[in-house]
Each structure stands twice: as C-alpha cells, then as structure tokens.
Amino acid sequence: MGQGGEPRRPQPRDGELGAAVARAQDGDETAFAVAYRIVQPGLLGYLRGLVGEDAEDVASDAWLEIARDLGRFRGDGAGFRGWTATIARHRALDHLRRQRVRPRAAQLEQDALELPGRHSTHDQALESLSTARALELVRALPRDQAEAVLLRVVVGLDGPAAARVLGKRPGAVRTAAYRGLRRLARQLGAQAPGGDSAEGVTDGDPPTLGESR
Amino acid sequence: MGERHSGEGPPGRRLAHPGGTLSAPERTGAPGAVLDLETRFAVALRRAEADPEAERSAVTAFRAARDAGAHDARTRARDDWRPGRPRRAPRSLRTTLSLAFASLTLGGVAVAAIGSVGSGTDAARDTTHSARPSAGHRHAPGDAAADGAGAGAPDTASPGRSAHPGHPATARDTLAHCRAFVRAGDRGGALDATAWQRLVTAAGGPGKVTAFCAAHMTRAQGKDTGKADASGKSGEGDSSGENPDSGNGENPGSKHAPAKPKQGAGNAADTGASGGRPTGKGQPPAGE
C-alpha cells in the first residue's frame, strides 16, 4: 500500500490545458472555456467533498475569481489545476465559515450500517461506484484525509501540489491520503458482494468503524 | 485491502488512467487495489453533467475582467505555479523557531562586529594620526629614554606602529586604546565603552589605567625606536627626526611629507597637547 506516497501520474489533458490557459491569458475567451471544461469536473468533485450540495455555488464563486485573476497565474496545466484548487478551497472555507457547518457527514454511522443491504448488487458495488455513495464515503473521512484524497484522486494533483494547496508539508498530506484511501478501501470491502467478501468482514478485515460489525 | 475478489488475473492494470472507464475492478494485490480504488473514486466523483449556464457565467466574468484590464495584474507568490520553482512548503514550528533564533544570533554578531570594527578603525586612525607628526617629532633614538617624563615623550611611542604587521593585535589594540584614553582625557572621557573595559581589564582596575597606559606606551616606544633603525620605513621618519629643528613638529612634517602636509601639521599640535597630559596627571613611571 506504499502507493499512497507516489506522485500521481500526470493527467492526460494537462498539455491541452496548459495551452488553453496560455491562450486565455492572451485574451482568448474560447480557450478559457476549454480550460473551464477541463478543470471544472475535478474542481466540482473536490468542492462537493468539502461543501456538499453547495458545491455548484462555491464553484461559480471560484470561477469568478479565477476569471478575474487569470492574468496573474504563472505555470503549466498541472499548475493551473493547483492554482484553481487553491482558489476553490478558499472559497469553500469562506462558505463553511459562513455556514458554520462541518464538512463531515453527521449521518455517517447509520448510513454505514445500512449500506451493505442497500448496495448489494454487483453493478452498484463493483462497476459503478455511485457519485452519491462515493461522496458519502469521502465525506465521512476526517477532514484532512478527505481533502488529501480529493485533491490527489479527483483534482489529480501530485503530492507536492496537493500539499501546497492545503498549506501543509508533503509528508503530512501523503500520510493523510494514504490513511484516507485505506479507510475507503475497507469500507468498500465491507460492502462488496461476491467472493469471500460477500458475507462481510469475517475474514480478517478489521472493522473500519466501531459500528460496522 | 478489502478488494478481495475471487478472480485470478495478474496484477497488471495498476496504472489505469483515472479518466478511463473501468469495467470491473482488477484482481490485484493490495497496491493495485488502492490504485483501482482511486480510479473508482475519481470516476465517481468527477462525474457531473455539464452546466452550460455556469460555464457561460464564468466566460462572461473572464471577458469582463479582460476588458477591464484586470489581466495585467501583477503575479503574486501564490499565483506562481511554475514547475521548476521550489514550492514553498510551510515550515514547521521548529524550523521557524530555529530560523528566528539563527537570525537573532547573526544579527547580534553583526552588531557586535560593527562595534569592534568601528573601534578598530578609530584606533588605527589614531595611530596613523599621531604616527606621522611624531616621526618628525622624534629625537634621536637614545633621547627618548632621556626625555622620560618630559612632555611628548609617551606619544613618540607611536610612530609607524600600525605599519608593523607582525605586531601582536592585542598589544596594538591596547596601545591604541591607551592613546585613545590619553586623548579622551582632553575631551572629557569620550572613550568607547568596550575599549575602556578592555583597558581596565588589561590594567587590572580603573584606577591603574593611567599608570598602565603610560608604562605600556613607553615600552612600545622603546621597542619601536629599536625597530626604527632597522626598518626602511621608519628610516624615513628618522631622516626627518635628524632635521635640526625636530623640536618643532610642524616644520618637518610639512617639509618631508608633502603628500600629507595638513595632517602632519595638525597632528603635531595634537601630539603635543596629549603628550603633556598623562605626565601632568599621573606621573607615570616613565623611566621604566
């Protein structure tokens, strides 16, 4: 499981993204739209993990700031992901501060108990982890783990970039991502049907939370 | 970890692209399972139907900012994501404290160095000042001891002192401090505190400084006259010393050192003034 510490491979569209950003900085609004389409899914996924259903609103706030400050940005496509994630994170934290809402799902315990029953079909559990379910699991993580996982997995940042976004040391972020992923894996394993996991965690998988059997 | 399925495929596809579709989770060992897990979460969480309205408003904001000239704004540190540049990771508390302590220490050393360098230069200047005229002032080598407690005798110790590189630094410092002390008597104790402390330490007490200095300077003078015969540089001074009217500091200075006529003249007067002081005050054991 040492893979948690490896830098992520570059995102496939980083070259295209970098070129689009450069053109947008020269004033090309079509290129800006291209950059938007490349970045927005990851950004939105990250924000959903942070602020839940308000993610769209926070994202459009973030994009206003990105559009305004685009001239200040220096860097390539991967850098643009990090820069935009930083802006989005600040907007999200502002939002949370206003709301005084913790990003953790309060319902976690009950949901986790119900899940094996609800998501027991092969399709749901294995082939397509539903967006709602994935969000639920990620938001159940401690905040630092959830953010580290989201930045690396969903936004696609490498370790140092994620650390810069979070304002932490790379080692701390690496550890948080590793722990978060391990926890997610356990929870998915607890619900995975088929094979020896179908019957639940009877074969040595330690219970992730106290309540999951 | 929990991805324990009954399949038997090799752990091959652990480098699956996050954006790629994944028909079924790979039957892999633990590392592959983690990457597979990442892929599944990436797919699940990046899944979003495009919102044309949101994109439009972003592009509108872009256009407005561009037309308002906002894109000419200066790049701040947080906007610079160029890959080659070292990323500024926040420092740990320990690192911050260490850096703060180090800078305080270095700052203190620097301030201390300013003090010592300053007094050093002063001392050197004093030496050169008094050195020139007294070179002209000096009598024949043998006369120095004979003059003993006479006016100007202690000061003749200085000629060319700073020009001898082999002279131990501490002795030279002490000499310079003594000279400064002697001069400071005129001006009401303007001696630098550090220099004064050193002088007191060297003399063994504040009350003994006068005597100590007189003795020290006399000793230095003795040494110097010994050297003066041998060294060519002091020979120059001697030649002016041989001048008939060596009793008058001004004339030889302006005559034999044309490059620095003013300094020679001014310092000659100075030398006379300060030379008389210690004898008047303390009656140093000049014969020593």
Q: Place B131 in a pLDDT band, splitting at 50, 70 and 90.
A: very low
Residue extent(s) of CATH 1.10.10.10 domains in chain A: 108-197
Which of A87-101, A155-169, B9-23 tops mean pLDDT? Answer: A155-169
For chain B, say whether A196 makes contact (Cβ under 8 Å): yes
Arithmetic mean of pLDDT, B220-231: 58
CB contact under 8 A, B45 and A203: no
Contacts of B2 in chain A (CB under 8 A): 185-190, 192, 197, 201, 205
* A38 or B166, higher pLDDT: A38
Confidence check: pLDDT of B232 > 70: no
Residue extent(s) of CATH 1.10.1740.10 domains in chain A: 6-99
CB contact under 8 A, A63 and B58: yes
Give the pLDDT confidence score for residue B212 in this predicted structure: 83
Within 8 A by CB and 6+ apart from A65, the residues are A87, A91
Test the A interface: residue of B5, B14, B27, B81 with most A CBs within 10 Å: B81
Among residues B24, B47, B33, B44, which one has the least CA distance to residue B3? B33
Nearest CA in chain A to B89: A169
B275 phi, psi to nearest 5 deg: -65, -35
Give the pLDDT confidence score for residue B199 in this predicted structure: 78
- The domain made up of A108-197 has a fold known as Arc Repressor Mutant, subunit A (1.10.10)
**Structure token pair of residue B93:** 């508390």
Q: Place A74 in a pLDDT band, splitting at 50, 70 and 90.
A: very high
Shortest CA gap A98–chain B (Å): 22
pLDDT digits (tens, 9 = 90+) for A105-146: 444 434 443 444 344 444 444 456 888 889 999 999 999 999
Q: Place A63 in a pLDDT band, splitting at 50, 70 and 90.
A: very high
Pairing of strands B80-81, A74-75: parallel
Confidence check: pLDDT of B286 > 80: no
Architecture per CATH, A6-99: Orthogonal Bundle (1.10)
CB contact under 8 A, A129 and B44: yes
Within 8 A by CB and 6+ apart from B132, the residues are B159, B253, B257, B260, B263, B264, B267
Give the pLDDT confidence score for residue B72 in this predicted structure: 87
Confidence check: pLDDT of B214 > 60: yes
Instruction: Calculate the average pLDDT of chain B.
Output: 61
Among residues B218, B100, B84, which one has the least CA distance to residue A76? B84
pTM for the model: 0.49
Arithmetic mean of pLDDT, B181-206: 72
Which of A30-34, B40-44, B193-197 tops mean pLDDT? Answer: A30-34
Arithmetic mean of pLDDT, B13-32: 42
Contacts of A150 in chain B (CB under 8 A): 45
Within 8 A by CB and 6+ apart from B166, the residues are none
Instruction: Give the long-range contacts of residues B167-174, CB within 8 A, separation 24 or more.
Output: B171/B220, B172/B123, B172/B127, B173/B120, B173/B123, B173/B198, B174/B198, B174/B199, B174/B202, B174/B216
Contacts of B71 in chain A (CB under 8 A): 25, 27, 70-71
* B165 or A156, higher pLDDT: A156
In this complex, the residue of A83, A131, A170 whose CB is nearest that of residue B79 is A83
What's A130's DSSP letter? -
Which of B109-113, B139-143, B227-231 tops mean pLDDT? Answer: B109-113
